[in-house]
Structure 1
Amino acid sequence: MKSIENNPKLYQLFIADALSEIGDVFYYVALITYASQLTNSSLAISLVTTFEFIPPVFSIIIGPTADKLCNKTKVSMIVNILQCTLYLINGLLFLKFQNWILFSLCLTINFISDTLGIITQEMEPIILKKVSPKISYEKKYGWLSAVAQSFSIGGKFLGGVLLTIMNNHYIFMSFINAATFGCAAVAMALIGNVITKKEIQDKEDEKSGVLEGIKFLKDNAKVRFIVVLLSNINIVLAPILPIAYILLANKEMYSPVNYSMSVSLLTAIDSLASILGPTFGLRLFKGKKALINSVMVGSIFSAFFCLSIFTRNIYVLMLTLFLASFFIGATIPLLFGGVIKNVPESKIGSVNGVIDTLLAITPPLSTFIFSSSVQYVSTYINVLILSVFSIFIILIIIKNRTNLF
């Protein structure tokens, strides 16, 4: 905290990111609530949750664009202003439209805003690197992730409270969201200019920044190995909670509390681990093999988390969920810290864009496949498949740990 307080620009960056996060969460809660009141509400809710997964997939395209933008903070400020304007318009739409037409317009605006936000996300590593060069990037990234996750949790709770107090007055929720992005724009303006100079690029670079990201992963076996591993670990982790929710709903798993409280507890445990992992987990892994060691420990506890379903006990599930989320949370800052150290500033967006897209694709696909297949195949058969796959990942890590690292 002292490091943050003694660095005003870093402090302002954290405020901007927190405000953007809380604004996104406020609106998500409002949109889900509105969707639940429509006819065919299940379809509306599915559309909201599905559209939340799509923008990060565009990182592979947006990353190279972010590289070409020199004044990173100025562009981030403009993006926040555009998002502020979108939600002001969104609020006014409630005065003119209703039901599915209104829902479709709101969903579109939210999707456009989230996609614009990816531009800021892909420029953030450079801003983070520039504003406090004396602090290691891994620590700063961990702190930023913890702040964003903390405000996400707080935003979900506060958003629900505000909706209740305002009697589901969605116009005000849109305006509040607009205000958070407006304040985030002010915070980015206070940071000042963070400008990166364009490096001389050959003709191949000019053709496609995406190729640069792919080329980096092709040439850097260590980073490529970790990204592929994390993508595969996501295949294991993503569907387990939805499967657990199904078991709890069918009363096939022991829990001392009712269904809604069980879901809340698991969500809270996952969120808490996602905050503590990037902040304190980094201290457990040091040296040249810190990254591979963190992935190996994370994969081991991911396998335990998967296998814990067979205990049919929520206490065991909560413990293994916390440990898996904690150690995977520690891995992400180490991964992107390695990218920052090995990639020229002019190509960081391209490389991070490819990585972000790869990591974003697997969770929704895996969740959809395994959570929907329980209607046709035994839940425990699905879990067994995921468990075998998770053990297979651990064996691959052990086999390649010495050779690559």
Structure 2
Amino acid sequence: MKKILNNKLYLKILISDLISNFGDTLYFIALMTYVTEIKNSNLAISIVTLSESLPILFTIFLGIIADKTLNKVEMIIKTLWIRVVLYLLVAIVMNFRASIMVVIFASVVNLISDTLGQFENGLFYPISNRIVKKSDREETMAFRQTVTSTMNIINQSVGAFLITILSFFHLALINSMTFGISLLIMLLLKSQVNKYYEEKTSSNNRLPLDFRAAFSDIRSNLRLSIKHLFRINNMRTILLVIPILNGSLAILLPLVVVNLSKGTALTIINAATTISLLGISTVSGGILGGALILISNKFKQLSLGNLLQMNLMTILLSFIACYYQNIYLIILGSFLSSIFVGALNPKMGTIIFNNIDETKLATIFGGMVTYFQLGEVVSRLIFSSLVIYFPYSYITIIYIVVVLIATIYTFSKVQNV
């Protein structure tokens, strides 16, 4: 811990990232609250959900581009400049009367900003790798995860409060300012980071990016990953169900927002507070799940199958609570599900590490993440279509049926894995 706190450069970069994360959280809550106030709210929610989903599809490709980028620090600064300008434009547009056109513009900006954010993360990975000693990396990653999750809870709470006292114009302006502060920090650190990083990378010869070859690599890596994953003993059922689990969790918040746009049945104080509390329950549940794996022997002894079964049951509880419009039960279900997800992830990672040839680990892990995220993307795309044509209760029933089938299938197939 002392080594991390003594690494001033790493802490400054982490602070820059945390500041921009606050802006992202504030903007997301503001945008979700904004769509509940316009007439054509279902279409608006569909558009916002799409803007949140599509950047996930670019993850691998953006990683390849980031690896091929030579002047990473300069590129990070450029992406921050673009995001500052984009949210200044959103602030101007938010001065107009609430309408679907404003939502479309704000969602396009959200899509571009999230895509740039993923690209920026890819640029940061090798920089962080250089400024943290190899012996300190595991502890540093755990520290970063804990700090980021804790700050996410604070961000949700502060965001909900600010939305009650500020206009959407001011919220977009604050978001732009957070990226401006991150930009200023990176400009001040530019020479220091370059000195630390370029000395070790300037001699590297990188080939220019071949887009056709990149797409071919992505396709072959994903196919190879799925093939290896399905070869692991007793894993077929779990690997079939986890994308359904992820996809169901991904649309819980948009489903609540649909209800908030139609009435006050799920409202706690106001729409922003409700959205924030749901986000806090998810983050805090994930933190607790990871902690329980470390400190509780009983929790540690639960099999992957057991955790998956309990996870599906809590998600089912959340959707049933959605149908009966009980927000407190929805939050409880989201919290419990996040605990089991927090415990499921390290167990899943351990199985991969123990069963895959170490020379293929990076490829398999990258493909695994993409495979699991596809469930989330597909679910959001389906939800974006359903929300335009079907009422809230019908969509809820559809997801109750899907999760119930997955739960029954899991109990009938999964043994102690």
Check the 8 A contact 1:273/1:325 in 2, yes or no.
yes
User: How do 1:338-353 and structure 2 match up within 5 A?
Assistant: 342=358, 351=367
Q: 1:82 to 1:242 in 2, by over 3 A?
A: closer
User: How do 1:90-105 and structure 2 match up within 5 A?
Assistant: 90-91=90-91, 103-105=103-105
Question: Which secondary structure state, in structure 1, belongs to the residue aligned with residue 58 of structure 2?
Answer: helix
Check the 8 A contact 1:35/1:45 in 2, yes or no.
yes
Q: 1:294 to 1:229 in 2, by over 3 A?
A: farther
Give the corresponding residue for 2:380: 364
Give the corresponding residue for 1:185: 186
After TM superposition, the structure 1 stretch with the greater mean CA deviation from structure 2, 205-214 or 386-395, is 205-214
After TM superposition, the structure 1 stretch with the greater mean CA deviation from structure 2, 48-57 or 8-17, is 8-17
Of 336, 341, 346, 1:323 maps to 336
CA distance in 2, matches of 1:36, 1:314: 16
CA distance in 1, matches of 2:241, 2:88: 42
Give the corresponding residue for 1:392: 409
Give the corresponding residue for 1:78: 78
Of 283, 286, 295, 1:274 maps to 286
Q: Residue deviations 1:96-137, cap 9 Å, x none?
A: 999665554443333211111111234455455442422454
Q: 1:351 to 1:71 in 2, by over 3 A?
A: farther
CA distance in 1, matches of 2:364, 2:76: 16
Q: Residue deviations 1:332-363, cap 9 Å, x none?
A: 46667868994689969965773575254244
Q: 1:304 to 1:4 in 2, by over 3 A?
A: farther
Check the 8 A contact 2:247/2:378 in 1, yes or no.
yes
1:54 aligns with 2:43: no
CA distance in 1, matches of 2:24, 2:365: 22
* 1:231 Cα deviation after fit: 1.5
After TM superposition, the structure 1 stretch with the greater mean CA deviation from structure 2, 20-29 or 159-168, is 159-168
Give the corresponding residue for 1:354: 370
CA distance in 1, matches of 2:125, 2:27: 25
Question: Which secondary structure state, in structure 1, belongs to the residue aligned with residue 82 of structure 2?
Answer: helix
Aligned residues: 391
Q: 1:152 to 1:98 in 2, by over 3 A?
A: same
Q: 1:270 to 1:375 in 2, by over 3 A?
A: closer
CA distance in 1, matches of 2:104, 2:293: 42
TM-score by length of 1: 0.70
Q: 1:320 to 1:47 in 2, by over 3 A?
A: closer
Of 207, 219, 222, 1:214 maps to 222
* 1:24 Cα deviation after fit: 1.3
Of 285, 300, 325, 2:309 maps to 300
CA distance in 2, matches of 1:132, 1:64: 24
Give the corresponding residue for 1:15: 15
Q: 1:94 to 1:209 in 2, by over 3 A?
A: same
Give the corresponding residue for 1:113: 113
Q: 1:317 to 1:93 in 2, by over 3 A?
A: closer
* 1:305 Cα deviation after fit: 0.5
* 1:23 Cα deviation after fit: 1.5
CA distance in 2, matches of 1:378, 1:91: 33
Check the 8 A contact 1:273/1:322 in 2, yes or no.
yes
1:230 aligns with 2:242: yes
Query: What is the identity percentage for the equivalent residue pairs of Structure 1 and Structure 2?
Result: 22
Q: Residue deviations 1:46-69, cap 9 Å, x none?
A: 423331222112224323222323
* 1:325 Cα deviation after fit: 0.7
Give the corresponding residue for 2:43: 43
After TM superposition, the structure 1 stretch with the greater mean CA deviation from structure 2, 162-171 or 299-308, is 162-171
TM-score by length of 2: 0.69
Check the 8 A contact 1:269/1:318 in 2, yes or no.
yes
Q: Residue deviations 1:137-179, cap 9 Å, x none?
A: 4x65454344334334433433344455444443633542442
